[in-house]
Structure 1
Amino acid sequence: MKIVLTGSLGNIGKPLTQLLVERGHEIKVISSKEERASEIENLGAVAAVGSIKDVEFLTETFKDADAVYLMEAWEGIGSLFDKEIDFLAEFKNIGQNYVKAVQRSGVKKIIHLSSIGAHSDKGNGSLLVHYNVEQILQTLPKDIAIKFMRPVGFFSNIYRWLPTIESQGKIIQSYGGSHKEPWVSPYDIAATIAEEMEKPFRGRTVHYIASDEVSPEEIVNTLGKIIGKPDLEWKVIPGEELLNQMLSAGVNEWIAKGMVAMQKAQGDGSLYEDFYANKPILGKVKLEDFAKEFAYIYKENKLK
């Protein structure tokens, strides 16, 4: 198959590119950075340098493709500390760009990387952007098949908490405890998407992706042990306090409020209602596997 991938060589894009190339597919990877081109080509793919905000570029790149993989990267839109960005509007614009490019190019098979929480426009905080993009893609003609992939929270997002883990021996959030929730590795997301590329495309389907189910307490116990911080704590603070901390740090107000709302939904379980109603088979990467990777990054970070 001829497949176009958006998202460059990120946490999902790189292993996905490798898997699809190994399976014998012709892969074209879109990246906004010219310096990524050689790395993409070294993996056996073709680099297409341009912006997903450019409809003409997308259209030309999608032409002759058997399938395209669409995603919207927060980093590609801008910094979470940029107070001027309207993330809702930016995500909608990208979704609309995809719709135009897909129709103009004639591609008929789409895999879209969405997210947990995209089943509803309420109670999901900043994940609302993924619901919006799904709805925009749903406006495409019905002869265009779409697989909506909804991964849960990434294990790799735990790296965002390295500063307080190192300085305070704590992960500080507005929810916690012993209740298990699903987590996913980017490697399992890539593996699932690679498999779905080769399966039949029929209509519009939703696929949840998860690797493991663990509680906040299990996370700190496992990570604390492997990095030599057995007293690592998952500290729960009121949502209002977390919001104030993020705003004081300069986080975009809509993002900060959305993260607090999302954590509320995590804490009361409402974020995962549709996931558990359509629970997938869990992937291969477990917390203990991620912990080994985390320990390596933690050690490297301390040496800097």
Structure 2
Amino acid sequence: MKIILTGSLGNISKPLATELVQQGHAVTLISSKAERQAEIEALGATAAIGSVDDVAFLTATFSGADAVYLMVPPNFTVRDSRAYHQHLGRSYAQAIQQSGVRRVVQLSSWGAHRSEGIGGIIGTHDVEEILAELPGLALTHLRATSFYYNMFSFIGLIKARGIIGVNYAGDTRVAFVHTQDIAAAAADELATPATPGRHVRYVASDERTAHDVARVFGAAIGRPDLQWVAFTNEQMQENLERAGLPATRATEVVDIYAGIGNGTLSEDYEQHKSALGRVKLEDFAQEFAAAFQAAG
């Protein structure tokens, strides 16, 4: 199959490209940076250098493809995250229509089933809706749960204050996911023909409480007394702004974590779970410990 991937050499797209190439597919990886071409080609993929907001470029790249994997590159510099997602969603939709692609797998998020009350995930909801309007498309929303790697942001907090936490309680049970498991699910979807229509697949690796996170991470970094501390929304907002996030983007993050705490993000996930992936919390804790030590 000829498969097109967005996401350059990111945490999902690089292992996804590697897996698909090993399966014998002809993979094209889109990147905005020409200096990535050699590394992309070293994976056995073809590099397509251009911008994902360039409809003409996307149309030319998508033409003749059997399947396309779409993601919106994270960008914390834009002032309006929702408008940014909507713009790229429309670019993708136009290119799909003009190129004639009929199989699309879109990286989405748990909580994207809702049209409000989900913080920064609202833009991902919008992209789902934009793509779902395309007729005749076999579309899968790959709804990933809470990314393990977001917890690398705890390193500074642990080193500075000896605690770990966000604005949800320690007994909150959270579905976490590793990017390797997302890549594996995306590879499975892309290589499997799908019937026209809208499909949803949730991707999670492990389900653990926040207290479990503190205990497992504490053991991994040699701080067995590490405790989870639940911040208020106001404290979380202040912490994020102090870390350099613009106020509006900080509020989006606060609302996402609040949605985990009150069950808003997980309500549809709980009704439509898929089998958990391979990478458990204890596995990721080793990655966390390595990054913690490297941070000095």
Which TM-score applies when normalising by structure 2? 0.96
RMSD (Å), alpha carbons: 1.2
Alignment of 1:1-304 (within 5 A): 1-74=1-74, 78=75, 80=76, 82=77, 85-141=79-135, 143-202=136-195, 203-302=197-296
Show structure 1 runs of 5+ residues with no match: none
Is the contact made by 1:4 and 1:27 (CA closer than 8 Å) also made in structure 2? yes
Q: Would the alpha carbon gap of residues 298 and 247 (structure 1) be closer, same or farther in structure 2, given more than 3 Å must change?
A: closer
Which TM-score applies when normalising by structure 1? 0.94
What do the CA deviations read for 1:255-290 (whole angstroms, capped 9, x no partner)?
211222222211122210100010111111100111
Show structure 2 runs of 5+ residues with no match: none
| 2:3 counterpart SS class | strand
Cα distance, 1:96 vs structure 2: 0.2
Inter-partner Cα distance in structure 2 for 1:248 and 1:298: 21
What do the CA deviations read for 1:125-162 (whole angstroms, capped 9, x no partner)?
11111101101111111x12111100001111111221
Cα distance, 1:234 vs structure 2: 1.7
Inter-partner Cα distance in structure 2 for 1:124 and 1:213: 20
Is the contact made by 1:37 and 1:47 (CA closer than 8 Å) also made in structure 2? yes
Runs of 4+ in 1 over 2 A off after TM superposition: 244-250
Percentage identity across paired residues of the two chains: 43
Cα distance, 1:198 vs structure 2: 2.1
Greater mean alpha carbon deviation, residues 243-252 or residues 267-276: 243-252
- What residue identity is the alignment partner of 2:102? K
Inter-partner Cα distance in structure 1 for 2:40 and 2:53: 21
Inter-partner Cα distance in structure 2 for 1:249 and 1:15: 30
Inter-partner Cα distance in structure 2 for 1:248 and 1:157: 17
Cα distance, 1:252 vs structure 2: 2.1
What do the CA deviations read for 1:150-207 (whole angstroms, capped 9, x no partner)?
0001111111221112222222311121232100010010011111122221121000
Inter-partner Cα distance in structure 1 for 2:91 and 2:149: 28
Inter-partner Cα distance in structure 1 for 2:81 and 2:256: 16
Greater mean alpha carbon deviation, residues 47-56 or residues 191-200: 191-200
Is the contact made by 2:173 and 2:208 (CA closer than 8 Å) also made in structure 1? yes
Report how many aligned residue pairs link the two structures.
Answer: 295
- What residue identity is the alignment partner of 1:201? A
